[in-house]
Amino acid sequence: MLEVAGMKKFRLPTSDTGVQIEGRVGGSGSPLLLLHGNPLSQNSWNRILPQLMRKHTVVTTDLRGYGDSSKPQGLPDHTNYSFRRMGEDQFEVMRALGFERFALAGHDRGARVAYRMALDAPDLIMKVAFLDILPTHYVFHHITADMAVDLYHWFFMAQPKGFPERLLGGHEAFYIRDKLMKQGPGKGGFTEEEIVEYIRVCTPENIHAVCEDYRAAATIDLRMDTADLEAGRLITVPTMVLWGERSHTALRHAPREVWPMYCSRIESMIGLPCGHYPTEQAPNETWQAFDAFF
């Protein structure tokens, strides 16, 4: 893990026996939990942590299966890698740190965990921010050819256990460098130190966990999201939506039109001058949006 002054490391157990979550906490003020994306870790927030810590007690974690958190074998129905189970980990971590209610922000897969958390327990989330995603339900129901090419990994990693794991195994360094710096629109912006750190945590166990994440998204998560939407359940907590203007999110769809179908209290929607990685590619603009919203 890359160091940030003022952030203290922790490792906490969850109610899922044997699964522990690695994290950091620092700063002072109202609690703010930050959740990273794939194939990243909590280090993805490092560039904006010093500013956020001035006004918030900031908590960053590695999602289960990622970074230095536990990486259990996936269950046959993938439920232990559903966004709901990942969200339960985060509620338990925050409760253990003394925070029953808190603000929440997520990028990429972390934003999908945040989405489920805000739907399941709106009374516990003060505000929520989603960085460079469209809702999982929308993506699966409005996939186009160019979007499918950009999001090929959604379908590759969701293939049956063993197939994507074997193809990626032994090629971790190439995979991380190519995925973060080249694949699809709006990539790049990472230092060599950051790349080396993401290669370090890209282990066979991590690759399996990421595949389970995507298998869950295409099955149990999609079913849950569909049931919520059909029942008229929307996200009701104050919401901010950020996206990169050079990311596939904006190039392939219209976030301003999509998000109001899933959230009833959107307070801010901002396109940032970046691609898929706002905190790396546009840290100042990302922090300013956070400061204004949170």
CB neighbours (10 Å) of residue 55? 15
Under DSSP, the state recorded for 190 is -
Rounded to 5 degrees, what are φ and ψ at 253? -145, -175
Matching residue, tokens 């006004």:
55
* Dihedral, 7, 11, 15, 17 alpha carbons, nearest 10: 160
Task: Please state the three-class secondary structure of 199-217 as a single string.
Answer: HHCCCHHHHHHHHHHHHHH
Supply φ then ψ for residue 190, to 5 degrees. -100, 145
Whether the CB-CB separation of 19 and 1 falls below 8 Å is answered with no
Specify whether the backbone of 27 is left (phi greater than 0), alpha (psi in -120 to 50) or beta.
left
The burial class, CB within 10 Å (0-12 / 13-18 / 19+), for 218 is middle
The residues assigned a catalytic role are 108, 276
Residue 238: which residues within 8 A CB-CB, separation 6 or more?
Answer: 126, 127, 128, 265, 267
**What is the three-class DSSP state of 170?**
coil
Cα radius of gyration rounded to whole Å, the chain: 17
- DSSP of 107-140, one letter per residue? ETHHHHHHHHHHHH-GGGEEEEEEES---HHHHH
